[in-house]
Amino acid sequence: MIFPVPKPRAKRKKVAPTGRPRTRLKNRNARRKGRAFGASHVDEAYLDWIRTLPCAPHLAMGLEQRTTTEAEHFVSKAHGGYDRGDTYPGCGECREMRHGTMGPKAFTRMLKARGFDERALCKKLVVIYESEKFPCP
Ligand SMILES: [Zn+2]
């Protein structure tokens, strides 16, 4: 048997201890500049410097580079990567291979098997960049 139950009273709007009503996250947050990650630490000068270099995987394997160099994030911004320290020069072809046909893990494994360490290169590039831009007095 079903017992008739009175309709529950409307819940009061939840209010945070600060007095502000708790609401859903906005689609665009001006402080985040519309992005969840990375907007506050874009190092455009470093990325421009990276783009002046030849494609690292192509150079390491002795192949001819056919597309322009782009800044490739070894650790993506969504995974907490930075521009300075997690980026190396890669061409459009390598990017297509890394993100399209192979996937980043397989691409890294393929390069490792050929004796090319992306992570080490990222770290080395920062040292070169900083010694170029900020030489010791
Ligand atoms: Zn390449």
Please give the distance, rounded to the nearest whole angstrom, from the Cα atom of residue 6 to the centre of ligand 1: 69
Q: Is the pLDDT of residue 33 over 60?
A: yes
Q: Is the pLDDT of residue 38 over 60?
A: no
Please report how the helices 118-133 and 44-51 are oriented relative to each other, as an axis angle in degrees rounded to 10.
110
User: Dihedral angle at the C-alpha atoms of 26, 30, 32, 33, nearest 10 degrees?
Assistant: 120
Strands (E), 1-137: 69-73, 87-91
Please give the distance, rounded to the nearest whole angstrom, from the Cα atom of residue 50 to the centre of ligand 1: 13
Please give the distance, rounded to the nearest whole angstrom, from the Cα atom of residue 17 to the centre of ligand 1: 54
Q: What mean pLDDT, rounded, does the chain reach?
A: 85
Please give the distance, rounded to the nearest whole angstrom, from the Cα atom of residue 7 to the centre of ligand 1: 66
Question: pLDDT tens-digit profile of 59-81?
Answer: 988 999 999 999 999 988 877 78
Q: Which amino acid is at 88?
A: Y
